[in-house]
Amino acid sequence: MIKIPATIEGLEAITATIALGISVNVTLIFSLQRHREVINAYLSGLEKAKAAGIDLSTIHSVASFFVSRVDTEINQRLEAIGTETAIALKSKAGVANAQLAYEVFQQAFSTERALGLLAAGANKQRPLWASTGVKDAALPDTLYVTNLVAPEVVNTMPEKTLDATFDHGVIPADSITGAYDEANAVLDALANEGVSYVDVTQVLEAEGVAKFIISWNELLDTVTVALDAAKSNTEAPSAL
């Protein structure tokens, strides 16, 4: 798979890439609304691929929904508010948001549109939990693993989290689908405390894109140095 960020500008690129039969990891998803738009972009790409005669079973995609970064940003805002009710909500938003993202996935792939594509051989765009390392030592080190288990999900873990899960993680059959009411209650409580879900997710997306730009420029610099070195070695006069 290639990575395409789930920005507004990225949605059209996702559709166009899937339409060509190229598998895509859609990354930097933070909000439920953007997740819906990403799934729509994927389905639109599948429809175009089908019309072009491409075998839909060869196309794969994951929707990378970021978890711990949501808690990091929201925790800072809750600490600034400082009330007892605000502090009690710390480190709950990331899991709640991801659980509701799974509900979005279930709903989207139960529609007549999606079912028709699946019947034609298409694959579901699986939810992928990204940013699952726990940054607060006071929290369970498998927080973003054991609370986000359900059929068809992918969890990408840092090595430390993977080791912790192997050592003492208790993996339930499903820790998501029965938690939607509680998850919605968490987001409602955050809104009542004055934490803007829309602003949080927009800030996180902007920060994520900025980090990607830095990484891209570093990659270009590395490749340029390597190419220049190779060119110099080729042009160097032979000692023979």
Residue 73 sits in a domain whose CATH number is 3.20.20.70
Tell me, yes or no, if the pTM score tops 0.95. no
Which residue from 176, 168, 184 is spatially nearest to 151, judged by alpha carbons? 176
Residue 40 forms part of a structural domain: yes
38 close to 11: Cβ distance less than 8 angstroms? yes
pLDDT in tens, the chain (240 residues): 999 999 999 999 999 999 999 999 999 999 999 999 999 999 999 999 999 999 999 999 999 999 999 999 999 999 999 999 999 999 999 999 999 999 999 999 999 999 999 999 999 999 999 999 998 889 999 999 999 999 999 999 999 999 999 999 999 999 999 999 999 999 999 999 999 999 999 999 999 999 888 988 999 999 999 999 998 888 766 655
Provide the domain limits for residue 73: 2-197
Residue 123 forms part of a structural domain: yes
Residue 102 forms part of a structural domain: yes
Residue found under tokens 């929707």: 63
Residue 237 forms part of a structural domain: no
Sheet containing strand 61-66, strands side by side: 2-5, 24-29, 61-66, 126-130, 154-155
What pLDDT, on a 0 to 100 scale, did the predictor assign at position 240? 56
What pLDDT, on a 0 to 100 scale, did the predictor assign at position 213? 86
**Alpha carbon distances (Å) from 133 to 126, 130, 137:** 20, 9, 11
The torsion angles phi and psi of 17, rounded to 5 degrees, stand at -70, -45
C-alpha torsion 13→14→18→23, nearest 10? 120
What pLDDT, on a 0 to 100 scale, did the predictor assign at position 236? 67
Residue 202 forms part of a structural domain: no
Residue 228 forms part of a structural domain: no
- Count the domains in the chain: 1
Q: List the catalytic residues.
A: 3
Residue 236 forms part of a structural domain: no
Residue 224 forms part of a structural domain: no
